Chain A
Amino acid sequence: MAGLDDLYQQLILDHYRRPRHCGVLDHPTIAVDQHNPLCGDELHVTLRIDDDRVTEVAHTGDGCSISQASASMMSDAIVGHTTDEVLAMIEHFRRVMHREVAADEDQLGDAIALEGVAKYPVRIKCALLSWMALKDGLLTHMVNQQEGR
């Protein structure tokens, strides 16, 4: 039991049972799908960006407690931040999952509770799913902006 408490912290279970920002936005700035080929988890993230700042986010999909909780925590963490700040948060979270840096609560908010997932290699992809979806969506959006689309 002790070993798994790192993985299934109360905060994670709380986000899993009561996910924040669940659903799909109407007329989002960004809509992106991501799936985990290993376990078949699927995730749909929609995002509204006003003046280069994330003003609204929603996620929906089918996944395990870790991927669902991670999407919920990520959504909480990014609202109000600029796209550059969000990209930095994504990179920080990715490095935390690969145990390259310690988690910084200022950047990650509740998602700091996912730090323990890094000890379970197979589950890292579950935790990263929503963040990688977001990164995909943001980069595509930024390229489109630059090209004036």
Chain B
Amino acid sequence: MALTADIDPRVLRLDFPILARVGDRPPLVYLDSAATSQKPTAVLDAMDRYYVETNANVHRGVYQLAEEATARFEAARDSVARLVDAPREGTIFTKNATEAINLVAWAWGVRNLAPGDVIMVTEMEHHSGIVPWQIVAEITGARVVFAPITSDGELELDWITHTLRTEPVRMVSVVHVSNALGTINPVAEIARRAHEYDALVLVDGSQSVPHMPVRFSELGADFLAFTGHKMLGPTGIGVLVGRPEILDGMSPFLGGGEMISDVRTDGSDWAELPWKFEAGTPPIAEAVGLGVAADYLRDIGLGAVRAHERALVSYAFGALAEIDGLRIYGPQDPDRRGAPISFSLPDLHPHDIAQLVDRERVCIRAGHHCAKPLMRTLGVSATARASGYIYNDASDIDALVHALHAARSFMGS
């Protein structure tokens, strides 16, 4: 049954052939979209069609086919920019969100940070929002500080403000929605405070852009990183959105073809935005696929996606409460959290939980979710995580609950 008026997962599922894989009895219950989403036929077809009908290198050939390929590639950029309301010249294709963050860390961080400068990240950051800054800190002599979280899994905003006021913070790198806790962080408010103290703000939108309306124009951040494969698109393509005036002042990250306007033996000049940051032949078919995914999400409406997932989380909280001892991490209020639900059972290790529910064809994640500092703060080595999307409904949650009961009785606990 549909949880909201605008999204009926039973209908949307028809767009996702993998969810009806032949031979899956019972059918697949896919609850790991925070790791990667499934892909609709429209995306797969567009990528196929690109290779069958349009394949040529972009921004090079003068023949018609090459122009068609370039047009498809740049139209994909428009689709992505439209989805997050970003300027097209500030919408840069990368390999994934990790590369997008590394781009800022290297192209901005290495050249602008000085010994003693402070880079603020948070305790709930994905490793991709921590490690690039640690590397850059080692090179520049800057320091990385971690904004702490409350027992409810929310950021300590007072600590952030205090640190901005008292320390030379130059960059605040913060996740929009935590992949491990589900927390929705008030990134616009954090950006406002950071800008008061002249710090730049990078928002990791990997878990927000696929799931809720995110408008770069209203976010107030300087950079927004996200990845294609978590938003119905293919792997191998991600996006960095940046304010053009800041990107203009930055030197390139990777050098090579495509990103230059002139190359001489005594030096080179850079191409215009956004191509300055896109060295080499880009993942063209992947960009085309991501563009179609962005259009698909716009057609459904990200407001509707958010409402559906809020209802799904709310239903899951009720259903999971029936399992003795089950603990859910992060905010308990569905209004304050996105789709990922991290949980643990006192008697079963997360690894065993994930392995045992797979007997019922329920796919969930177990582990540290690439957030080891957070796991240490929570005092656990790992959690189990169920994360839904547009193709999941209450029946998937029921299947999870059933599988958890079955796991418990199997282990005889």
Binding site for B on A (CB under 8 A): 1, 3-4, 7-8, 13, 16-17, 38-42, 62-66, 120, 123, 126
Contact indicator A65/B381 (Cβ below 8 Å): no
Contact indicator A65/B359 (Cβ below 8 Å): no
Contact indicator A123/B351 (Cβ below 8 Å): yes
**Which residue of B356, B381, B411, B412 contacts A41 across the interface (Cβ within 8 Å)?**
B381
Comparing B37-45, B243-251, B365-373, the segment that makes contact with chain A is B365-373
Q: Check if B349 is an interface residue, CB within 8 A of chain A.
A: yes
Query: In the complex, A26 Cα to B159 Cα: how many Å?
Result: 43
Q: Check if B63 is an interface residue, CB within 8 A of chain A.
A: no
- Chain A residues contacting B333 (CB-CB under 8 Å) are none
Contact indicator B359/A39 (Cβ below 8 Å): no
- Chain B residues contacting A4 (CB-CB under 8 Å) are 355-356, 358-359, 410
Contact indicator B359/A64 (Cβ below 8 Å): no
Query: In the complex, A7 Cα to B410 Cα: how many Å?
Result: 12
Query: In the complex, A127 Cα to B157 Cα: how many Å?
Result: 43
Say how far A35's CB is from chain B's closest CB, in angstroms. 8
3 A-B pairs closest in CB distance: A40-B381, A64-B351, A64-B349
Q: Check if B375 is an interface residue, CB within 8 A of chain A.
A: yes
- Chain B residues contacting A126 (CB-CB under 8 Å) are 351
Contact indicator A40/B410 (Cβ below 8 Å): no
Q: Do A7 and B355 contact each other (CB < 8 Å), given the known contacts A38-B367, A40-B375, A65-B411?
A: yes
Within 8 A of A (CB), among B334-382: 349-352, 355-356, 358-359, 366-368, 372, 375, 381-382
12 contacts between A and B (CB under 8 A): A4-B355, A17-B412, A39-B367, A41-B382, A62-B381, A64-B349, A64-B350, A64-B351, A65-B349, A65-B411, A120-B355, A123-B355
Residue of B nearest to A14 (CB): B412
Query: In the complex, A62 Cα to B379 Cα: how many Å?
Result: 12
Q: Do A40 and B367 contact each other (CB < 8 Å), given the known contacts A13-B411, A123-B355?
A: yes
Query: In the complex, A39 Cα to B349 Cα: how many Å?
Result: 10
Query: In the complex, A38 Cα to B351 Cα: how many Å?
Result: 11
Say how far B248's CB is from chain A's closest CB, in angstroms. 40
Contact indicator A63/B412 (Cβ below 8 Å): no
Q: Most chain-A Cβ atoms within 10 A of its Cβ — which of B349, B356, B375? A: B349
Say how far A33's CB is from chain B's closest CB, in angstroms. 13
Say how far A129's CB is from chain B's closest CB, in angstroms. 12
Q: Do A13 and B381 contact each other (CB < 8 Å), given the known contacts A4-B359, A40-B367, A40-B375?
A: no
- Chain A residues contacting B351 (CB-CB under 8 Å) are 39, 41, 64-66, 123, 126
Q: Do A40 and B372 contact each other (CB < 8 Å), given the known contacts A13-B411, A65-B352, A123-B351?
A: yes
Contact indicator A13/B367 (Cβ below 8 Å): no
- Chain A residues contacting B350 (CB-CB under 8 Å) are 39, 64
- Chain B residues contacting A120 (CB-CB under 8 Å) are 355
Residue of B nearest to A2 (CB): B359
**Which residue of A17, A40, A63 contacts B368 across the interface (Cβ within 8 Å)?**
A40
Contact indicator A42/B381 (Cβ below 8 Å): yes
**Which residue of B358, B368, B410, B411 contacts A39 across the interface (Cβ within 8 Å)?**
B368
Say how far B412's CB is from chain A's closest CB, in angstroms. 7
Q: Do A64 and B352 contact each other (CB < 8 Å), given the known contacts A13-B411, A39-B381, A40-B372?
A: yes
Residue of A nearest to B412 (CB): A13
Query: In the complex, A38 Cα to B367 Cα: how many Å?
Result: 7
Within 8 A of A (CB), among B178-237: none
Contact indicator A63/B349 (Cβ below 8 Å): yes
- Chain B residues contacting A7 (CB-CB under 8 Å) are 355
Contact indicator A39/B355 (Cβ below 8 Å): no
Say how far A85's CB is from chain B's closest CB, in angstroms. 31
Contact indicator B382/A40 (Cβ below 8 Å): yes
- Chain B residues contacting A41 (CB-CB under 8 Å) are 351, 381-382
Contact indicator A39/B412 (Cβ below 8 Å): no
Say how far B369's CB is from chain A's closest CB, in angstroms. 10
Residue of B nearest to A17 (CB): B412
Say how far B127's CB is from chain A's closest CB, in angstroms. 11
- Chain A residues contacting B382 (CB-CB under 8 Å) are 39-41
Q: Most chain-A Cβ atoms within 10 A of its Cβ — which of B351, B352, B366? A: B351
Contact indicator B381/A8 (Cβ below 8 Å): no
Say how far B361's CB is from chain A's closest CB, in angstroms. 11
Query: In the complex, A42 Cα to B381 Cα: how many Å?
Result: 8
**Contacts beyond the supplied A39-B367, A66-B351, A123-B355: 19 A-B pairs with Cβ under 8 Å:** A4-B356, A4-B358, A4-B410, A7-B355, A8-B411, A13-B411, A17-B412, A39-B381, A41-B351, A41-B382, A42-B381, A62-B381, A63-B349, A64-B349, A64-B351, A65-B351, A65-B352, A66-B352, A126-B351
